[in-house]
Amino acid sequence: MLRRVPVSAVFPYIRTITSRGQFNPIHDFSESLEEAHRARNVEEFTRMITNPGPMRVGYSSDYLDWLYRAYQSKLLHYDARKKEETRLNVGPRGGSPGSSTLASSGSQRYCREGEEEERGEDLAHFSRPPHSLRRRVGEAKRREAQRELDAVAKAQGMLDLFERQPHFPTIHLSRASRFHLVELFKTILLDRAFDTMAVWDKALLYRAILQERRGGYPPSFDYIFDAVEKTVLAGSESTDTRAGNHPSSPPARTPTEEDYFYFLYLVKRYYVDNAVEGHVVLRCCREPNASELLFSNPPPKEDKEVRASIQSAFLRNRKDGDAEGAEQGHEERLFSFCAPTRYPPIEFLWKCEENLPLLTILVFGELNLMVSENPFVKYPNAHAFLTRPYAEAEEEGIRAGGGRGASASSPKPRGGGGGGSRWDREGDVLSLASLIVERRRHLNLAHIPYILASALDGRAADLRRLQQRYHREDILGFQRLLRGDGESPAEYLSFSDWSYLNPNAVRAEVRDRLQRRGMEALRLYDTATNDLFRVGFEEAEMTSLTRPVEGVHTLPSYIPTLPHFIVQITKDPHVACLLYVVLPSLSPRTGEEEGKSQEMQRLIHQLGSMLHRMALEFHKQELRRVNKQKVNVAATLLDNFVRAELKRCLTRPAEGAEEEEGVKGILRRLGEFRPFEGRMLDESGFTTDARVEDYTRWMAPPVTK
């Protein structure tokens, strides 16, 4: 018989995909993989990858080195795949496609032993003929899986770029025309804007950031600072003109200097360096308690100092000296530093020639001022204002009795007098009646009767329940809004808190989603191998003899039987020690001790029966809770018995026997008994050894330093 290498040895069923320790490029190099368009050296690759089009991409030297290595690795795997496809189409011994027939296999039967070992890989693959429908399906599966893997690698590469912030590429717009700027603005900003005023706010804020941080940019960014210098800003009197009857007049086409000075004031006072911090400032600057929310670390600069520096810089740079008297009346209004209340129509931003420098600044800032950092380190007070509490924290507050009107840490009123504590709910929650009794006691008023207090508490409970329900629905709806639609949850949302304010959590969730997509693509790629190659008799026989396991086929890894659950219970160290060591060694062969051993066996059998019934009916939703309660009752009886016997054996006075001392030492070394009540269940209804703390640790997002 022809010897064959098992397919599982060459194509393992499960492979791992990871993003740690590897480099994923953000390019798929689809056009540069062919022989005619390949880059032969580093210079050609650099010229190809920096995009000679209108949007020039500037990479750091380290990132270009990583990217060139990834490109070479991509070429290597691409050539290997092409070679594999050629060998698959030609046949195992260089014959025609699909020539691995009985005749070819019979001719190979007489090859020498050493030659057969050298061609062991070929002998392991007997491909199906090209006209086979199953082979075509397998090839289509492989192509689809490869496309999915390439997409996952690109998405992982974008996340890696945010992790390696110093190597994030700069997108230069020096070659972009007005047409390109308008299309970019409509795609990444206008189509996703919730409010048109926010677009103007961001444009003026980005100009203020660039003007303040100009010294930190290399000379290659001079073109954007030319746009900063050429920005057209109307005088403060144009505010009155906007509301007039001439909307097409030049002063109404652009924002005013008064608007710009306000954002320059914000940048100077609160140390705004990038778009993420700017987003926090824009969200908080119009609130009544803005100074409290934007209290930064380090503390903000003094208000008078910032105002004086802006005024002195404006007066120093003003060219029209004779206009000083004309502007003296507007100086107080010009430096009022109030949030803008109105702007020109949003169409003027991309239709008017005067706003072209401001449009360039806006697109440049949206592409290059985004960084990966936690803005709440600098603005800690804005955290609770901008972000909603998580569902877990809200559930903990509800369980503790807190809604928005009650807190678990609130002090409980003193009882006595009217007996206010008698009507309190159990726990730390304050009832409405107890608050009224406490207030009336301070005012020296008569106590309210018990019936009225009960009615007040009942109504307050209904209101609290409705409040918690609507608050929970508000949280869930807000989180759904921030995460985007279901078709493209990882899409860039330029005006959502979800993409700005918690980049670490966003990357963790996106990485989990990409991990699942990559694993599914690898499984699809591996299952396509079974459609491309024929299966030998030995492989088919081994496949039919193997037991199906969960996750691959339909049946679970073990069938729910009563002996299985009884063995799972008796395998517990405390139960096994009591049943087989403690009770036989410490019993004086009396009827009472033998009765305790039988009682323990009866409780074990009872708990095993309940677990067995729950596993058999675990798929029935209406019976699952009832069976779980029965399991908890049986587990409680067994837990109480085990605890009582352990306590009795450990507190039993020693009679000088070394055997009893050894048994007590064993019980002490076993540690604390873990009760059977409340143990975790898997998806089939079987008990597991995992604890809630383990799930909390496993499901925690990755921590980036």
Mean pLDDT of 39-61: 84
- The predicted pLDDT at position 605 comes to 94
| Distance between first and last Cα of the chain | 59
* Consecutive H or E run containing 56: strand 56-58
Confidence of residue 416 (pLDDT cuts 50, 70, 90): very low
Which range has the top average pLDDT, 37-41, 357-361, 547-551? Answer: 357-361
Q: Write the DSSP assignment of 433-454 as a string of letters.
A: HHHHHHHHHHTTPPPPPHHHHH
- The predicted pLDDT at position 248 comes to 47
- The predicted pLDDT at position 165 comes to 63
Q: Which residues make Cβ contacts (< 8 Å) with residue 181, sequence separation at least 6?
A: 173, 350, 356, 359, 360, 363
Q: Which residues make Cβ contacts (< 8 Å) with residue 512, sequence separation at least 6?
A: none
Write the Ramachandran bin of 493: left for phi over 0, alpha for psi from -120 to 50, otherwise beta. Answer: beta
CA distances from 346 to 73, 186, 247, 314, 360 (A): 47, 11, 13, 27, 15
- Average pLDDT, whole number, for the chain? 74
Q: Cα(310)–Cα(291) distance, rounded to whole angstroms? A: 19
- The predicted pLDDT at position 697 comes to 62
- If you search the block for the tokens 């290597």, which residue do you land on? 76
Which residues share a beta bridge with 687? 681
What is the three-class DSSP state of 208?
helix
Contact 278, 206 (CB under 8 A): yes
Q: Cα(682)–Cα(687) distance, rounded to whole angstroms? A: 6
- The predicted pLDDT at position 163 comes to 66
Nearest to 26 by CA among 147, 183, 120, 159: 159
Tens digit of pLDDT for each residue in 632-644?
A: 999 999 999 999 9
Mean pLDDT of 577-604: 80
Nearest to 511 by CA among 536, 496, 495, 489: 489
- The predicted pLDDT at position 227 comes to 93
Nearest to 303 by CA among 256, 236, 311, 205: 311
For residue 694, report the phi and psi dihedrals to the nearest 5 degrees.
-65, -45
Hey, what are 647's tokens? 């306590």
pLDDT for 392 beyond 50: no
Tens digit of pLDDT for each residue in 314-353?
A: 888 775 554 454 455 556 566 778 889 889 999 999 999 9
Q: Which residues make Cβ contacts (< 8 Å) with residue 448, sequence separation at least 6?
A: 418, 433, 436, 437, 440
Tens digit of pLDDT for each residue in 279-320?
A: 999 999 998 888 888 988 888 999 889 888 888 888 887 755
Contact 242, 256 (CB under 8 A): no
- The predicted pLDDT at position 328 comes to 55
- The predicted pLDDT at position 84 comes to 81
Tens digit of pLDDT for each residue in 440-468?
A: 776 767 777 777 777 777 777 777 777 77
Count CB-CB contacts under 10 A for residue 393.
Answer: 11
Q: Cα(516)–Cα(217) distance, rounded to whole angstroms? A: 40
DSSP 702: P
- If you search the block for the tokens 């926090």, which residue do you land on? 280
- The predicted pLDDT at position 166 comes to 64
- The predicted pLDDT at position 684 comes to 66
DSSP 422: G
Confidence of residue 104 (pLDDT cuts 50, 70, 90): very low
- The predicted pLDDT at position 683 comes to 63
pLDDT for 122 beyond 90: no
Prediction pTM value: 0.53
Confidence of residue 238 (pLDDT cuts 50, 70, 90): very low
For residue 332, report the phi and psi dihedrals to the nearest 5 degrees.
-65, -40
What is the three-class DSSP state of 286?
coil
pLDDT for 3 beyond 90: no
- The predicted pLDDT at position 705 comes to 52
* Consecutive H or E run containing 5: none
Q: Cα(314)–Cα(324) distance, rounded to whole angstroms? A: 12
pLDDT for 495 beyond 60: no
Q: Which residues make Cβ contacts (< 8 Å) with residue 175, sequence separation at least 6?
A: 53, 54, 55, 56
pLDDT for 15 beyond 50: no
- If you search the block for the tokens 């700027």, which residue do you land on? 181
- The predicted pLDDT at position 689 comes to 61
- The predicted pLDDT at position 17 comes to 46
Q: Cα(80)–Cα(83) distance, rounded to whole angstroms? A: 5
User: 362-376, 440-454, 521-535: lowest mean pLDDT where?
Assistant: 440-454
DSSP 254: S
Q: Cα(463)–Cα(440) distance, rounded to whole angstroms? A: 22
Q: Cα(576)–Cα(239) distance, rounded to whole angstroms? A: 85
Confidence of residue 482 (pLDDT cuts 50, 70, 90): low
Mean pLDDT of 1-19: 39
pLDDT for 107 beyond 50: no
Hey, what are 80's tokens? 């290997």
DSSP 578: I
Comparison of pLDDT for 409 and 591, the residue scoring more:
591
User: 341-350, 459-468, 483-492, 645-654: lowest mean pLDDT where?
Assistant: 483-492
Q: Which residues make Cβ contacts (< 8 Å) with residue 258, sequence separation at least 6?
A: 236, 239, 333, 334, 336, 338, 340
Polymer length of the chain? 705
Comparison of pLDDT for 405 and 654, the residue scoring more:
654
The amino acid present at 66, given as its one-letter code, is W
Which range has the top average pLDDT, 3-12, 408-417, 479-488, 615-624? Answer: 615-624
- The predicted pLDDT at position 529 comes to 82
What is the three-class DSSP state of 256?
strand
What percentage of the chain exceeds 70 in pLDDT? 64
CA distances from 30 to 24, 33, 71, 242, 481 (A): 15, 6, 11, 51, 35
Which range has the top average pLDDT, 476-485, 568-577, 645-654? Answer: 568-577
What is the three-class DSSP state of 392?
helix
Q: Cα(210)–Cα(218) distance, rounded to whole angstroms? A: 13
What percentage of the chain exceeds 90 in pLDDT? 19
For residue 654, report the phi and psi dihedrals to the nearest 5 degrees.
-70, 140
Which range has the top average pLDDT, 105-119, 187-201, 675-689? Answer: 187-201
Comparison of pLDDT for 363 and 445, the residue scoring more:
363
pLDDT for 182 beyond 90: yes
Comparison of pLDDT for 26 and 66, the residue scoring more:
66
- The predicted pLDDT at position 101 comes to 38
Mean pLDDT of 203-227: 92
Confidence of residue 610 (pLDDT cuts 50, 70, 90): very high
pLDDT for 425 beyond 60: no
Comparison of pLDDT for 456 and 419, the residue scoring more:
456
User: 83-97, 319-333, 503-517, 552-566: lowest mean pLDDT where?
Assistant: 319-333
Nearest to 603 by CA among 584, 575, 573: 575
Hey, what are 294's tokens? 């934007």
- If you search the block for the tokens 């103007």, which residue do you land on? 200
